[in-house]
Chain A
Amino acid sequence: MIRRTLISALLACLAATPAFAGSFSGTTAGSSAAGTSQSSGSSSGDDNKVVLQARDDAASFVASDGRIRGAQLEAALHYLRERNVKAQRASDMQLAQAILAL
């Protein structure tokens, strides 16, 4: 028993190969999330990404009435306000809801 625990402890920070993680799980979650089928022509890959990556944070923010405010949402808010006049006038909550509605 002790030996088994020791060996488990020795398995420090060994990460499974990305192939394995990616093959049957993980990567599909991001893309299929809430069926984001929009194909906005106005922004490039990275641009869309910062907003799409904020969906989980946006959901937490909306559901917790603004209490849970993660960095991915914060990054998306900054990003939108730097580029979008309507976003500059909108509240954080309005923007979070808009991200969820993408």
Chain B
Amino acid sequence: MTPGRRPRTTRLWPAFCLWACTGTAQAALQLAPIDASLTPAQADATRQILADAVERLPPAWADVLDERIDVEWRDDLPAKVHGRAKARRMLLQRTLLDGWMARPAGAGIEDPATRAALAAVIHELAHFYDRTPQGGLSRDPRLLDLAGWQVSPMKLGLRSSHNAFSDRSPDRYELESPVEFVAVNLEYFVLDPDYACRRPALYQYFAARIGGAPLQAGCAPDFVYMQVGPDSTLPPVLQIDPDRVYAVDYLFAERNDRPMSRWGHSMLRLVICAPGRARGPDCRLDLPYHQVLSFRAFVDDVQISSWRGLTGSYPSRLYVLPLEQVIEEYTKVELRGLQSIPLNLDPAEIAELLERAARLHWSYDGRYYFLSNNCAVETYKLLHDGVPRLADEDLSSITPTGLLKHLERAGVADASVLDNRDEALRLGYRFDALSTRYQAMFDVARQELNLPQARVQDWLDLPPEVRSPWIGRADLRASAALLLLEQAALRRQQLLSRDELKRRFFGHDAERRDVAADPLGALQDLLRLENYLSRPAALLPDAGYGLPQVRERETLAQEGNRFAAQWREQSGWLRSEARTWLSPQRLSALDGTEANVDALGEQLRRLNHEQGGLELHNE
């Protein structure tokens, strides 16, 4: 290249002004191509690109950029870099110009070359805008909340330097830094009509800051979450319409003395109304429709390791679980009480919270740290990032009880619903651990039957065949009491069975028993399926970004059904096989207890019938 020999044309391409906004005449954005070597056709194309890009900018954005920005096509940018925003110069990759010029006549935004050229210009203009005092989006705490540079209670409110919202990203370059996040997202905000539906909260944020069309009516009114359970009649994609959510409660699982639950567990309960019921207090008893948002470490191994938990090697996942499953797991299996404390949120805030939960569900790939990113921290961040009003409150806490205290102090949670214990139980603000009823149940049975044992524990310790002769002598009331106790015995047998299998197959002195099937392999298969189902973005590889839209939902229903069927088959097989791997003593105790439960069920039916009681199954 010899610059001196190139004839300096007298016809310099005049810097042209692009009036970004019709109203302001005195100062406006000027994009000025400064390369004198452009052919007339290239210059023409450049003019088209710049004009087209500027025309698409929302008024507030273009208004702020009331300066001249020189535009240069460059051959020396790294291959993957489409542009650079210098102080007053915009550098653009020359291949974008070539692509634009080679595009078919009449190509619209769906044409890749057209989109690439416009996106590059808009991306760089977003950087220029972001640097102005009026812009400053990448420094705005609210943007950082929405984007995923989350606050961290362990860092005195400082933000994490890592953005973990990496699944279903439109362009992973957005995760580089808040500055790039803003530029990439403004590209989509301007160019992608789907952006409003895929990232509604960000769309609304940008629209409020820089103007733009209001949220389109075309977005689905509900949010979808994957949920797979043993019931094969339920679809794998759960749809929640915010208009059906009456309230959100802070759901706290009380601690017990097992090491895993020393601090309790924090969750959020969605009080969803049954179909056809208007939003109101009656929805509180529509228990089968209520859902729970629960952050858990996904333990991808058959053993939980406290070391791995401390060092963040488990993923942190947001599960959406039916409330009734949560009640069963905590109050009946783990024997821990649940407190459900209403949060003072208005309907718009509930909708924001649900959308945030959906964004977490589909995009978040965080790590679980026992101390700095546990369930309380995740729940705190969900409230903080989901509901702007709560971001202003001092809620930061690393323990479930601490978070509850802060919510109460801020007037967000109202724990007075627990004051009257009986009412709290009746209305579902409290779910007692079933164990709190065992002694009372036993006293009823003991009085009626003159049982020789004094303590309920002694009764439950008896082999089932020693308890069974008493069953036939019980009246209806004592049968009801014995049923609850026999169920307790059954759950205990199931836990003992599980422990026995764990020791036998996965413990330090694991016995390599000669079984036809490999339990470890089967369990690992199951974990692999659950990994997919709990990180649902994996079910939609390379398709779209953000919240799943109509077509993706169809794929999800299909893929979800396929995975769910495998999961049910595998877990059903494992459950039935597990019985054959038990020791004869354990199996006999399990069978005996199940027989007692069945006998009590039969007896309760018979007694109710004999006494002329109401019979529901004849309805």
Contacts and interface: CB of A to CB of B under 8 A. Distances in A.
A51 B287 CA distance: 11
Interface string A67-102: 011111011001110001011001000110111111
B487 A29 contact: yes
Contacts of A7: 306, 310
In terms of DSSP, what is the predominant structure of the interface of chain B?
A: helix
Contacts of B608: 97-98, 100-101
B426 interface: yes
Contacts of A69: 422, 425-426
A70 B431 contact: yes
A75 B323 CA distance: 13
B324 A53 contact: yes
B389 interface: no
Top 10 nearest A-B pairs (CB, nearest first) are: A34-B601, A71-B428, A25-B494, A24-B498, A63-B481, A101-B608, A8-B259, A12-B263, A62-B480, A13-B265
Nearest to A25: B494
A32 B594 contact: yes
A97 B475 CA distance: 12
A58 B441 CA distance: 12
Given A13-B265, A63-B484, A71-B285, A102 B617 contact: yes
Given A45-B233, A63-B477, A14 B288 contact: no
Contacts of B602: 35
Q: How large is the interface on A (under 10, 10 to 19, 20 to 34, 35 or more residues)?
A: 35 or more
B75 interface: no
A13 B332 contact: no
30 contacts: A8-B259, A10-B309, A10-B310, A12-B264, A13-B253, A13-B261, A13-B266, A19-B523, A20-B498, A25-B497, A26-B491, A29-B332, A29-B494, A32-B594, A34-B600, A56-B332, A56-B487, A58-B480, A59-B484, A63-B441, A71-B426, A75-B428, A80-B616, A86-B619, A94-B614, A98-B615, A101-B607, A101-B609, A101-B616, A102-B617
B399 interface: yes
Interface string B280-316: 0010011111000010111110101010011000000
Nearest to B597: A34
B413 interface: no
Interface stretch (B77-85, B368-376, B461-469): B368-376
B262 interface: yes
Contacts of B51: none
Interface of B: 230-231, 233-234, 253, 259-266, 274, 282, 285-289, 294, 296-300, 302, 304, 306, 309-310, 319, 321, 324, 327-329, 332-333, 368, 370-371, 374-376, 399-400, 422, 425-428, 431-432, 434, 437, 440-441, 444-445, 476-478, 480-481, 483-484, 487, 490-491, 494-495, 497-498, 501, 523, 526-527, 530, 571, 574-575, 578, 594, 597-598, 600-602, 604-605, 607-609, 613-617, 619
Given A63-B484, A75-B288, 5 more contacts: A7-B310, A25-B497, A35-B601, A62-B480, A70-B431
Interface in A1-54: 7-36, 38, 40, 42, 45-46, 49-51, 53
Nearest to A42: B619
Contact of A87 (B285, B329, B614): B614
B294 A56 contact: no
Contacts of B310: 7, 10
B237 to A, nearest CB: 16
A34 B527 contact: no
- Which secondary structure dominates chain A's binding surface? helix
Contacts of B483: 34, 59, 100
B230 A16 contact: no
A32 B491 CA distance: 11
Contacts of B371: 10, 12
A12 B374 contact: yes
A17, A95, A98, most chain B CB atoms within 10 A? A17
Contact of A24 (B324, B478, B494): B494
A39 to B, nearest CB: 9
B230 A22 contact: yes
Residue among A13, A31, A68 with max Cβ neighbours from chain B (10 Å): A13
A71 B265 contact: no
A23 B527 CA distance: 11
Nearest to B444: A63
Given A26-B333, A26-B494, A34-B600, A45 B231 contact: yes
Given A22-B571, A33-B487, A62-B480, A71 B614 contact: no
Contacts of B288: 46, 49-50, 53, 75
Contact of A33 (B285, B298, B299, B597): B597
Contacts of A32: 490, 594, 597-598
A60 B439 CA distance: 11
B374 A13 contact: yes
B575 A18 contact: no
Contacts of A53: 287-288, 324, 327
A72 B426 CA distance: 8
Contacts of A40: 616-617, 619
B203 to A, nearest CB: 34
B3 to A, nearest CB: 67
Given A11-B309, A34-B600, A45-B234, A29 B263 contact: no
A90 B576 CA distance: 41
Nearest to B481: A63
B312 to A, nearest CB: 12
Nearest to A38: B617
Contact of A70 (B266, B425, B609): B425
B530 A17 contact: yes
Contacts of B231: 45
Given A23-B574, A45-B233, A65-B477, A99 B297 contact: no
A34 B598 contact: yes
Given A29-B491, A70-B425, A98-B614, A24 B437 contact: no
A86 B309 CA distance: 54
Given A10-B371, A11-B370, A24 B286 contact: no
